[in-house]
Amino acid sequence: MCLIAFALAQHPEYPLVVAANRDEFFQRPTAAMDWWPDQNLLAGRDLSSGGTWLAVSRDGRVAAVTNVREGSPEPGRVSRGELPVLALSGPDAIASQLPAHQHDYAGFNLLSLADRSGWYYSNRDAHPGRHIHRGVYGLSNHLLQSPWPKLLRLRDGFASTLRKDLGAGPQALHRDLIRLLQDDTPADDRDLPDTGVDIATERMLSSPFIRGEAYGTRATTIVSVGASGEILVTEQTWLPFGRPGEQRQFSWQRES
């Protein structure tokens, strides 16, 4: 998962809205979003090293992980894909388990979100672990709210879409957010971050949506948690060069 925008308590109908793009090599084996019977959560599955990039619990909590882009990353001893599952396993799982084991993983950002608040943890943050409250946020492959061009572009468009879609209903909101996340506008060279990769790679990775042959955006996921307890999750998968693949949608009423 490489780009996420989310809003906490910013919409009168949907106290939590999450919109995310997952960028990955197309050859990496992946199972589409579905319910995990052994974990009672909704998520896609990385069939290469296990785990997931974004998961939703029955009670409407959302957890997602992104890698931290580093020029010469050290491989982790444990897959980052287990982190969203850990985050949804219990209210104290992150605070109690991650500090002692954070360096077992390659660089990561982890979000754990409820409908009005959340928790952010990165093993590349000088002070890892912080509560987050009402507001509109963006996360890519650096720390939370880092002003990368694609993050700023998505976060601004995301906030505008939430304002525009007041009263439009969840299906319209999901449709508009999927369209927003297909933005393939690259950043100007003068605005590119320096993350230790070559300039051609920085350019390719600078747009919110990446249309590549071997590597690109593979899935767009939208989650809305309604004030009345209705949860709607949409996953649109993408094929090489941004061609649309399968779309899956899940809807249920939050369990108490």
Contacts of 73 (CB under 8 A, 6+ apart): 67, 106, 107
pLDDT, tens only, 3-29? 999 999 999 999 999 999 999 999 999
Task: Please name which of 158, 175, 149 lies closest in space to residue 234, comparing C-alpha atoms.
Answer: 175
Provide the pLDDT for residue 50. 85
Q: What is the pTM of this model?
A: 0.94
Question: Domain limits at 249?
Answer: 3-253
- The candidate with the shortest Cα–Cα distance to 184, out of 137, 136, 216, 148, is 216
Domain count, the chain: 1
Q: Calculate the average pLDDT of the chain.
A: 92
Give the model confidence (pLDDT) of 27-65 as tens digits. 999 999 999 988 889 999 999 988 999 999 999 999 999
- At residue 256, the pLDDT reads 61
**Residue-level length of the chain:** 256
**CATH number of the CATH domain containing 35:** 3.60.60.10
